[in-house]
Each structure stands twice: as structure tokens, then as C-alpha cells.
Homo-oligomer: A and B are copies of this chain.
Amino acid sequence: MSSSTSPTGGPWRLHPDRALPADPTTRDLARSIYSSTRDLPIVSMHGHVDAAMLNADQPFGDPAEVFVVPDHYLVRMIVSQGVPHDSLGVPRRDGGPVEADPRAIWRTFCEHWHLYRGTPTRFWLEHVFVEVFGVTERPSADSADRLYDAITERLATPEFRPLALVDSLGMEILATTDPATATLADHGALAERGWGERIVPTFRPDALLHLDAPTWAADVALLAERADLAVDSYDGYLRALEARRRAFLAAGARATDHGHLAADTTPLSAEDAGRIFAAALRGEVTTAEATAFSGHMLFEMARMSTEDGLTMQLHPGVLRNHDPQVLTQRGPDVGYDIPVSTEFSRSLRPLLEAFGHHPDLRFIVFTVDETIYSRELAPLAGVYPAMKLGAPWWFLDTPDGMRRFREMVTDTAGFYNTTGFVDDTRAFFSIPARHDLARRVDAGFLARLVAEHRLDLDEAAETAVDLAYRLPQQAYPALR
């Protein structure tokens, strides 16, 4: 299909104007706006980097282990062209053999570089390879081995240890995401070494809120152990969750994170909640009861956030593990999570009715369903003080996706009912690239407003800084 990209001579360089608008008038303005944000520190409040990895602070592995195998964006694209997971070294749950030679995996990746044309993955990888690793050749079958060696060499240097990179890549603060039952030992150890203000946990109780999850009973047992409280009733369960939130707060957490299939937030009566919880303890909960309970618990989580101040993050609308065989063979998070149509106007109503004007609630909503930007999310965030719109999420965290978000949201919600840029990745190296791309795209959007005389340039530059830096800080304030 495609020959690999052939450099047109000279080493691979990234154009300073990449992802800025093409029209010269607008581009000049965008450049000027982007210059205000390019070098700002990174506030990364929704990350999924592993806390243990940061605490261990050991050298990263080989290029395949760092860039290919764990990145579901990369893997899914190559798999979509018929390359089996095995060839990419994605582990099998049964321990069966998969490609074990990192150089072969890396080569497979480089041979498929053309698949990423026009994708944000390509933008991020280019940024990482050139800006962070100093690579001078495009990936291709021909260059694969040389790139492998060049990256491997860098990864072995002390400057490429995780914590050194947190510093050198400009990450002012980096949040991890941690199950509600986490010991937080890694964060504790990091805090002892002075990283407590910069690497903070996030409270993610999903596993405990879905009563019909196969692991629920085990998770509840673990919750009791971690909280050192009996969880033999709904009341005990609430108290244990509150205790864990306090432990996260003490460890520096600023937020909770909730991934539900639907956005429903309808509260149950205490009686109904108690009855359903008891049924779950007996292993007799129905799917309908579990679903109702999970919506109820979003309401309860908002209530707790009004009390302890943790920013509440909700990102609904993803049908996880679309292919059950892949789940069985490879586990979750290998690229088979597919968005579904999601409703917010009615679903969030109970939560917003109860807490939407509460001065101590910050409730941030993400979506992978862009059809509800102008119809539901902007009208809601444009009136309820507690609600803010997170950045375009996951499949929408793209140049055109971010532009559409601003175009469909700003009319009704303005800029100041959004959180500014929030990344969402387990790919550590891509974090600066993602922030850089968002700053470029927001500069382009603001530049168009200026070029169309809908905004003044000084306002645009100020707004750009707000989106890149101040708004994320305000959305996730320090609570200790």
C-alpha cells in the first residue's frame, strides 16, 4: 500500500508551525498566541501513569516496551490492519507465547508508520521522537533498527529516568489514578523524597460502585481492610468510602475519577440503597439493581465532594471490552473500548438539582460523544456553577476534535466554564506532546476569533494562558 515516508533530504525536523492554521493571517496571530503558552509548565491532573513506576524511578525498558506494547492507540491501529496482537507482543492472559523480541515488535511498528497519517498518535509520536529523543529519521522498515538503537541509548541515560523526566519535561504536577483500595505506599514514599506536592493520587472507586462486577466481593473485602472498618452494611460501605477519600486527601489527592457506562445520577432512598447493597453482599443483586445503585453512588460521590472538597470527574459513555474473546485472551485496555450514545441533560439532573449550585463542588464532565457538546454539555455548564467541561477526551483528543469542541462549546459555555487542557493517558512520554498540541489548537481557535474581529489579541493571549495553565489549576485546587 504505502512506501515508508522518505525524508526529502536532511534530518527529520518538526515544523515550528505544525498544527497551526494554514491561512497566513490567522497563522501569524496563532503563532503570537502560542508563544504565550508554549513554555508554560504542564499541569497534568487526569493521568494514568503508574505510581509504582514513578516511585521505583528505574530506567525505562526498550522502545517496544515503552512505546508499542502498552499503548492501545498504537496497537489497535496495527491490529486493525490484520496484524495479530501476538506480533506486537501484547501478553496473553494464559501466558501463551507472543513475540518476545522487542526489536521485532519495534520493526513491525515502524513498518506500519503510514497507518498513523492524519492521526494525533502520529503527532504525539513525532513530538516525542524528535523533541525528546532527538531522533533524526522517520520510522520505516529501513530506519527501524537505527531508531531502536538511538532510543535505547537515550533510555539508558540518567536523564531518562522517570523523575528526572518529570522535571525536565516541565511537569509542575502529575496526578496518577489509583483504585479506592490502593495502599498509597508509592505516593507516601515519593512524598518522603519531596515529591508529595508534584505527584498526587486520584481516588477511583469504580470497582466498588458496580455491585455486579465479578471482582466486587473481593474489592469490598479489600476496602474494609484498607479502611479498617466493617463493610457489612450500606452504612459501613459509605463510611469506608469516606475514610478512603480522607486517606487520599491526606496523600495529596485533589480529585476523584468515575468511569460509568451511563451518566445517570438518580439517588435511591437510603432504604433501597441498603436493601440492594445487602443483596449484593449475598451475591443476589440483579443487573438492574446494580445499575441503579451505580447511578445512586455518583450522587453520593457528589455529596461527599461537597463535604471534603475533592474535585469530581465523570467520564461516561464507553462500552468496555467490546470483544469478549479479546478480553479473555488479553485483558482490558488493549483497544476494544467503544463509545456509545450518552445522555446528560436528564441524567445529570438529580446531581445538579441537589449540588449544582453548591459553592464547594467542582464537577467536571468528559465525553466521547461529541454530539452532546452544543446540545447538552455547553448549556448545562453554562449555567450551573459547579459544573465544568473537561477537555475533549480519548478519541476526541485530536487537532480537529479539540477545534470542534471549542466551536461547539464556546458559544454557550464560554472559555471559563471549561477546565482548559486535561490530558488522559498512561503513555508517560506523550504527556508533553499532548499539552503542546492542545496549546497549538487553542491558539489556532483563538487566532481565528481575532482574525474575524470577534476577540482582541490581548484577550486571546490571556485566554490561551488560562486554558493551558490557570484553569486546570483552578479546577483541581490543592486541598491540603
Judge if A1 is at the interface, Cβ distance under 8 Å. Answer: yes
Query: Which residues of A from 97 to 156 have beta carbons under 8 Å from B?
Result: 114-120, 122-123
- Check B118–A454 contact: CB distance below 8 A: yes
Task: Tell me if A285 is interfacial: C-beta within 8 Å of chain B.
Answer: no
Q: Does A33 contact B (CB under 8 A)?
A: no
Q: Which residues of B contact A116 (CB under 8 A)?
A: 414
Query: Is A5 in contact with chain B by the CB < 8 A criterion?
Result: yes
> Which chain B residue shows the least CB distance to A359?
B82
Docked CA distance A466–B395 (Å):
24
Complex interface bits, A16-48 against B, C-beta within 8 A gives 1, otherwise 0: 011111111110000000000000000000000
> A475 at interface (Cβ–Cβ under 8 A)?
no
In whole Å, how far is A69's beta carbon from the nearest beta carbon of chain B? Answer: 16
- Determine if A401 and B374 form an interchain contact, defined as CB atoms under 8 angstroms apart: yes
A455–B399 Cα distance when bound, in Å, is 13
The CA of A256 and the CA of B462, in the complex, are separated in Å by: 46
Mark each residue of chain A from 247 to 284: 1 if its CB lies under 8 Å from any CB of chain B, else 0.
00000000000000000000000000000000000000
- A395 contacts B371, C-beta separation under 8 Å: no
Once the chains bind, are B76 and A383 in contact (CB under 8 Å)?
yes
Interface residues in A412-428 (C-beta closer than 8 Å to B): 412-417
B412 touches A459 (CB 8 A): no
Indicate whether A333 reaches chain B with its CB closer than 8 angstroms. no
Most B C-beta atoms less than 10 A away, residue of A335, A353, A370, A379: A379
Contact among B359, B396, B453 for A15, CB-based, below 8 A: B453
B463 touches A117 (CB 8 A): yes
- Annotate A312-347 by CB proximity to B: 1 below 8 A, 0 otherwise: 000000010011110000000001111111010110
B452 x A383 contact (CB < 8 A)? no
CB <8 Å contact, A414 and B353 = no
Contact of A345 among B339, B356, B376 (CB under 8 A): B339
Bound together, the chains give a CA A296 to CA B130 distance in angstroms of: 50
Q: In the complex, which residue of chain B has the Cβ closest to the Cβ of A470? A: B1
Stretch binding the partner chain, chosen from A188-196, A235-243, A403-411: A403-411
**Chain B contacts of A324 at CB under 8 A?**
353
Given contacts A19-B452, A458-B8, whether A415 and B117 have CB atoms under 8 Å apart is: yes
Contact of A370 among B77, B374, B381, B451 (CB under 8 A): B374
Q: Which of chain B's residues has its CB closest to A16's CB?
A: B453
- Say yes or no: A382-B77 contact (C-beta < 8 A), given A340-B345, A346-B340, A470-B1: yes
| Residue numbers in B under 8 Å from A79 (CB-CB) | 383, 385
Q: Given A353-B324, A399-B454, are A414 and B115 neighbors across the interface (CB < 8 Å)?
A: yes
Tell me if A459 and B374 are in contact (CB < 8 A): no
List chain B residues, Cβ under 8 A from A325.
353
Q: Which residues of B contact A20 (CB under 8 A)?
A: 452
A369 within 8 A of B: yes
> Does A244 reach chain B (CB closer than 8 Å)?
no
Tell whether A228 is near chain B: CB-to-CB under 8 Å. no
Q: Which of B17, B336, B399 contacts A383 (CB 8 A)?
A: B336
Interface flag for A159 (CB, 8 Å): no
Tell me if A157 is interfacial: C-beta within 8 Å of chain B. no
Mask for A36-67, Cβ within 8 A of B = 1, else 0?
00000000000000000000000000000000
Question: Within the assembled complex, what's the spacing in Å between the Cα atoms of A339 and B374?
Answer: 9
Q: Does A246 count as interface, using CB distance less than 8 angstroms?
A: no
Closest chain B residue, CB of each to CB of A3: B462
CB-based contact A414/B77 at 8 Å: yes
Chain B nearest Cβ from A246, distance in angstroms: 26
Cβ of A93 within 8 Å of any chain B Cβ, yes or no, is no
Contacting pair B359 A370 (CB below 8 A): no
Shortest beta-carbon contacts, A-B, top 9: A22-B451, A15-B453, A18-B453, A398-B411, A118-B410, A82-B385, A76-B383, A371-B371, A400-B407
A-B contacts, 23 of them at CB < 8 A, read: A1-B416, A3-B462, A8-B456, A8-B458, A76-B383, A80-B383, A80-B413, A116-B414, A117-B410, A118-B454, A119-B414, A323-B352, A335-B382, A335-B383, A339-B345, A340-B343, A368-B375, A369-B375, A371-B371, A399-B452, A400-B407, A400-B411, A401-B411
Q: A80-B384, A118-B463 are in contact. List 18 more A-B contacts (CB 8 A).
A: A2-B462, A8-B456, A19-B452, A20-B452, A22-B452, A80-B385, A117-B414, A118-B406, A120-B411, A322-B380, A335-B383, A336-B383, A338-B379, A339-B345, A368-B375, A371-B375, A378-B395, A400-B407
